Amino acid sequence: MRVPRIYHPHPITHLGPLALSDDAAGHIARVLRMQEGQEVLVFDGSGAEFPAIIHEAGKKQVVVDLAERIDTNLESPLNLHLGQVISRGDKMEFTIQKSVELGVNTITPLLSERCGVKLDAKRFEKKLQQWQKIAISACEQCGRNVVPDIRPIMTLEAWCAEQTDALKLNLHPRAKYSINTLPEPVTKVRLLIGPEGGLSAEEIDMTQQYHFEETLLGPRVLRTETAALTAITALQVRFGDLG
């Protein structure tokens, strides 16, 4: 049986007894229905994981006994920052979950002309918290010990204007060159994925002004969530740790 992986939101500085967060305690007690004496793997996002035994499993508190610290690096040599225009429904959640599993380091939700999602500041904040929880859950599932950062929501232009030494890519169905033709070596990429209706002509011009290179995935037009995951996979195969 696979040992459950549990995220702890604070730096772990010592071995021995550790009271888990309320979210983790609820998951262990009510969802997994684990008991005292069972094994878990705890990680705090620092790159390490801690084999542990459940010492106390109450309804309101779970205490584990951390046995040792194991530094495990499952991070890709390719640093990938995904700029994803917010999509409707559960598509954004799906994109975040699978992007984390594929090794993305940072995700910035973006607003564009054809975004189609309109929320007030309070609801946007709730969305950010929800998306970060999805990223944590994806790390628990896939074995990553470093949790990707879900950044605050930005406008497309503000994100494109940020200073970076990364290769900046924008998917475009009429681009002349594919990911396979990009020159090596590449260690950092900023990948822009537009909305379901695509970027406007003005937005495409703007990305070019900020030196985004247009790249092609293939002859077919992909949905926004399919495009993101296909591009991430192709980049990881070409420059990262897939394949």
At 35-87, the pLDDT tens digits run 999 999 999 999 999 999 999 998 789 999 999 999 999 999 999 999 999 98
Strands 154-155 and 149-150 come out as: unpaired
**pTM of the predicted structure, to 2 decimals:** 0.93
Strands 70-71 and 48-57 come out as: antiparallel
Domain residues of the chain, as ranges? 5-71, 79-239
Q: Taking the domain 5-71, which CATH number applies?
A: 2.40.240.20
What is the pLDDT, as a whole number, of residue 15? 97
User: Which alpha helices (H) appear in 7-60, and where do they start and end?
Assistant: 22-26
Task: Average the pLDDT over 116-143 and give the result.
Answer: 90
> Alpha-carbon distance 70 to 15, whole Å?
12
Cβ contacts of 24 within 8 Å, gap of 6 or more: 6, 7, 8, 62
Give how far Cα 121 sits from Cα of 12, 151, 184, Å: 33, 15, 41
> Alpha-carbon distance 66 to 53, whole Å?
7
Q: Is the pLDDT of residue 177 over 80?
A: yes
232 phi/psi in degrees, rounded to 5: -60, -45
The per-residue pLDDT of the chain, averaged, comes to 93
What is the pLDDT, as a whole number, of residue 172? 82
CATH topology for the 79-239 domain: Alpha/beta knot (3.40.1280)
